[in-house]
Amino acid sequence: MVSCGAFRSFLFEYDTPRIVLIRSRKVGLINRGVQLAILAYVIGWVFLWEKGYQETDSVVSSVTTKVKGVTLTNTSTLGPRIWDVADYVIPPQEENSVFVMTNVILTLNQRQDRCPEVGSALILPYDQTECNVKNNCVPGYVSTHSNGIQTGECIPYNNSIKTCEVFAWCPVEDDYHIPKPAFLQEAENFTILVKNNIWYPKFNFSKRNILPTINSTYLKNCIYDSQTDPFCPIFRLGKIVEAAGQNFQEMAVEGGVMALQINWDCNLDRAASHCVPKYSFRRLDNKDSAHTVSPGYNFRFAKYYKDTNGTESRTLVKAYGIRFDIIVFGKAGKFDVIPTMINIGSGLALFGVATVLCDVVVLYCMKKRYYYREKKYKYVEDYELGVNETYGTDS
């Protein structure tokens, strides 16, 4: 039980450590020097560099893209053919990503039927598909790399070899030879418009990458260039790849994945107009000499048709191309009283460290250390150690 008087006496108490204030050129300079270093760290690093006086927030973003461009190809099987955005962007929309087909292996008029499997050379070392006699083929056999289910027959694949017959989408795809240069090599000149809205929830600050200063006319003619048009949101595919230090025509053959990074670091203590996007580009599937296994990016899809008697046929497309992942990141900061207080607080606490460091120097390293120890410490011997005595240097 605490009496009222005790509480009053507690209330009016102020306990503050007793200090030895040593007046010494050497020791004083060390002390002030360390304190200055700490002050410089707190002000310079914590406040100016890391902006410790700011509350920060992470970006919330939405991205839409639109690709533009047409190109003409002319081959013996297809004849002259125009490719536009509906032909080469697959799927037509994704959340933060867009795929542009740059190379293609088409297998036309596939039907559910029986036909020879591709030769072993093409899918080796997976499977032995070549055969001489019927016995080489196992009815019902199927492996991961098969195009279909073996029927057990052995039939001619071409003039020189025979392969096991399969029930499959026939004729089966032969993707041994990748077109080189890339089929849609002119994709280099296609453009991609990236529309990006960002939002900093804590500050309820939103902006989009089509800046208020950009008008319709500019937007319809500009192409992003880090020097001349750093805020144009329209990118030429070739330039993106080049800015990442890659060769577009090489990349177009086997495909790949590119990152289009948008950085929205903003200091909201300054005017909103200073908060602008910074674009940068990277190749994500690093293609170097050490990474020759399974390079590039491709996938298969099909377009399905039905003829008059209801039989389904399809065109199998093995699409090689470049996927552009739009990666939005950034941090906004704005003055706020709480982080300021916290950082000042921990800055003050660091001054205690100055004293600890100096004590080490003064009490252990300096010639006059015994003199300083005498001033700083008051030795109190406890009874139990057998010596009932108190040495106090200042008593």
Candidates 72-80, 157-165, 239-247, 271-279 — which segment interacts with a second copy by CB under 8 A?
Answer: 72-80
Q: Residue 298 annotated as binding?
A: yes
Does residue 40 touch a second copy according to CB under 8 A? no
Comparison of 161 and 259: residue with beta carbon closer to a second copy: 259
**Sites for a second copy among residues 223-242 (CB under 8 A):** none
148 Cβ neighbours under 8 A, 6+ residues apart: 117, 142, 166, 167, 168, 169, 170, 172
159 phi/psi in degrees, rounded to 5: -65, -30
Residue 276 within binding range of a second copy, rule CB under 8 A: no
Written as six digits, the tokens of 239 are 């330039």
Question: In angstroms, what CA-CA distances link 248 with 187, 253, 255, 266, 296?
Answer: 9, 9, 10, 33, 13
CB atoms within 10 A of CB 373: 15
365 near a second copy (CB under 8 A): no
Q: Which of 47, 66, 128, 267 binds a second copy (CB under 8 A)?
A: 66
Q: Is 367 in the site for a second copy (CB under 8 A)?
A: no
Q: Does 311 bind a second copy (CB under 8 A)?
A: no
- The region of 11-19, 130-138, 157-165, 266-274 touching a second copy under the rule CB under 8 A is 11-19
Instruction: Note whether 353 binds a second copy by CB under 8 A.
Output: yes
Residues 6 or more apart whose CB falls under 8 angstroms from that of 334 comprise 54, 55, 203, 267, 268, 269
Any known ligand binding at 303?
Answer: no
309 labeled binding residue = no
Our CB check for a second copy shows the closer of 132 and 216 to be 216
Q: Considering only residues 176, 305, 335, 370, which one is a binding residue for a second copy as defined by CB under 8 A?
A: 305
β-strand partners of 199 = 60, 206
Task: Single out the segment in contact with a second copy by CB under 8 A; choices: 128-136, 143-151, 157-165, 177-185.
Answer: 143-151
Tell me: does residue 128 bind a second copy (CB under 8 A): no
Q: Which DSSP string corresponds to 74-105? A: EETTTEEEEE-HHHHBSSS--SSEEEEEEEEE
Three-state DSSP state, 35: helix
